[in-house]
Amino acid sequence: MDGSLYERLGGTDAITAVTRAFEDRVAKDDRINQKFARTNLDRLTKEFVDQMCQGTGGPCTYTGRDMKETHTNMGVTSGEFDVFMEDLVATLDDFKVGKAEQDELLNMLWPMKPEIVEVDSPQVGTPLPSAFVPGPAL
Ligand code: HEM
């Protein structure tokens, strides 16, 4: 299909709408929502949208932190990473994003798993360690 993935997803407005809906879904998911207990949501939304926009070929520049630094001391398990991806797919389904576009997006995200996961375990719903330091507000 023609056009960048960014264009096929519907541009910045569509990516922002998907991101907000994804955050709402994650917030209700007890398997991973504890990790977001101390997070500044405005920052998270902006950085996630910029990262997706840039990564899919859109006209944005990601200025957030790298994935390793961002997720340091969060104690994310491999099981929790998989839940995060499951929630993302469910959100993309809600927005009727096509299978080809979903696969392209997931292929971009899966390789980040080793930078984000700190605990090699299928366990989910693990608490946010007190050592975690959230990023500054925007
Ligand atoms: C490929 C998968 C993922 C991507 C692309 C991603 C991307 C990001 C980005 C761009 C940020 C903001 C960076 C910044 O503040 O500078 C962020 C923050 C965050 N991510 Fe992820 N993330 C992923 C997986 C996960 C998973 C699996 C969890 C937990 C289950 C998680 C929990 C968080 C939390 C809690 C924050 C906020 C950190 C803070 O408060 O400073 N992320 N992520």
* Rounded CA separation 74/38 (Å): 11
Tokens of 60: 């944005």
Q: What are phi and psi of 119, to 5 degrees?
A: -125, 115
Domain ranges for the chain, please list them: 5-116
For residues 29-50, give the mean pLDDT. Answer: 98
Task: Name the residue of 45, 61, 84 to mutate for ligand 1: max ligand atoms within 8 A of Cβ.
Answer: 84
For residues 30-37, give the mean pLDDT. Answer: 98
Q: How confident is the model at residue 2 (pLDDT cuts 50, 70, 90)?
A: low
pLDDT for 1 equals 52
5-116, CATH topology level:
Globin-like (1.10.490)
pLDDT for 66 equals 98
Residue nearest to atom 23 of ligand 1 (CA): 116
